[in-house]
Structure 1
């Protein structure tokens, strides 16, 4: 099992310098990863929100070992060609430590999609996500990208440089009972099952993804979030390979977060 700090970039944490300092402390305390939320807005009492890519770049520049990335980024609201540039730049800045968490996203938390003219229908957003992932895979390869889709067009572009290791791991957020996101996750490098209620539910999701994968023998990550202090052992036994800290954004404060980071991961 590997452990990661996972933080909403809200209020007292809505400052790239603060995030970078926390990443340094996380690396010193023995954490394996440092992941951040990707939101434009959030409901009260949150008032301030930082950009994940800027914060991750700040964290990458001052650390050497931590895996890092957005967890998760709703790609449907982002231009995939821009994300191709951003991800490779961050991957190279971090010397190949980027993990890209992706998902369909939801308008229910802060109406950040409907209030900015973004599509809110799950089906549409899922289509856009799948097209974006196809474009990213092609762009990262260094070959010519030709994509004429329903939502995106890339007509004969080549993206250089390429990722440090030729590939950026993609983890896909999925509700365990929803087959389509699990199929999407099975095509990539990891799954982040959300809203889990028990290790048994995780074990079922892991089994379903495993049955859908083209080659179940290849390395594959299963990330979950747990409240700090929760015993991870039953979840690891159910298939979790990464455990992320579940921090409540409504009560988020810098000092308790710093104490949690300094205490290090659960053994």
Structure 2
């Protein structure tokens, strides 16, 4: 079992230097990962300040050596692919191959999509997510990409350098509750990040992954580690415990968790 801190770069944690301090402390204390929420807007009554995840992760990458990092998760429907391809490869090199890319549909809480003219229909966002994920994998290979899809266009471009990680940067797909299309999507890649699930839902999700892949071998399954219920962490197949801190978490509360270190490995 691997253990990661899941932190929002909001409020008291908006300063990238503060996040760097947390990352360094977490790495020293034995944490395996630091994953940051990727949002561009929240209800101002809840969150008044937000920092850019990619710049923050770059700062973290230069100050750490072993802890895995990444956005968890970034909605691909609101990302320009040419920029994301360059960002992911650059961050993979900067971190010496420690990037995990979490992807998902995103949410429209307080108009995070509508206020910026983004696609809001869930099915369309899912189609864009599928197309974009495949395009990322193709671009990371370094060959000339000519893709004229329904939602994305790249016309004869080779993206180089390629990532340090082989065969590619790991992609984890987010899924929530009973939704199984995201689980089947995740089974095509390297990992699944499950949110708001119970043990039965987790079991059904793992069955879906096995149905697609044949087994769980070489596949990561991350679940939220609830402080008062560790049942999900005991399910065979779960490989990562995500210790999630709320959007309004204080620096002191996350710092205390970081320096205390993760629970004993099992």
TM-score by length of structure 1 reads 0.94
> Who is 1:41 aligned against?
41
Q: Which residue is 2:234 aligned to?
A: 236
Contact kept? 2:225, 2:233, Cα under 8 Å: no
CA RMSD, Structure 1 to Structure 2 (Å): 1.4
**2: distance between equivalents of 1:230 and 1:22?**
24
Instruction: Kindly indicate whether the alpha-carbon contact (under 8 Å) linking 1:200 and 1:238 is maintained by their aligned counterparts in 2.
Output: no
State the distance in 2 between where 1:95 and 1:161 align: 13
Q: What does the per-residue CA deviation read over 1:172-228, in whole Å, with 9 as the maximum and x for residues that have no partner?
A: 0012422221111111100111111x2332122112212122x5264000011123x
Would you say the 8 A contact 2:77–2:129 is kept in 1? Answer: yes
State how far apart, in whole Å, the 2-side matches of 1:179 and 1:21 are. Answer: 38
1:86 aligned partner: 87
Q: Does 1:222 align with 2:221?
A: yes
Give the corresponding residue for 2:125: 125
Q: Structure 2 unaligned segments of length 5 or more: list them.
A: none
Distance 1:139 1:101 in 2: 17
Question: What residue in structure 1 maps to residue 154 of structure 2?
Answer: 154
The aligned counterpart of 2:172 is: 171
Q: 2:263 aligns with which of 260, 263, 266?
A: 266
Greater relative contact order (Cα < 8 A, sep 6+): 2
Task: State the shift of 1:161 in Å.
Answer: 0.4
Corresponding position of 1:254: 251
> Could you tell me which residue of structure 1 aligns to residue 243 of structure 2?
245
1:175-186 alignment, distance < 5 Å: 175-186=176-187
Paired position in structure 2 for 1:103:
104
Instruction: Determine if contact 1:4/1:35 at 8 Å carries over to the other structure.
Output: yes
Distance of 2:115 and 2:98 partners within structure 1:
34
Task: Look up the match of 1:67.
Answer: 68
Kindly indicate whether the alpha-carbon contact (under 8 Å) linking 2:209 and 2:215 is maintained by their aligned counterparts in 1. no
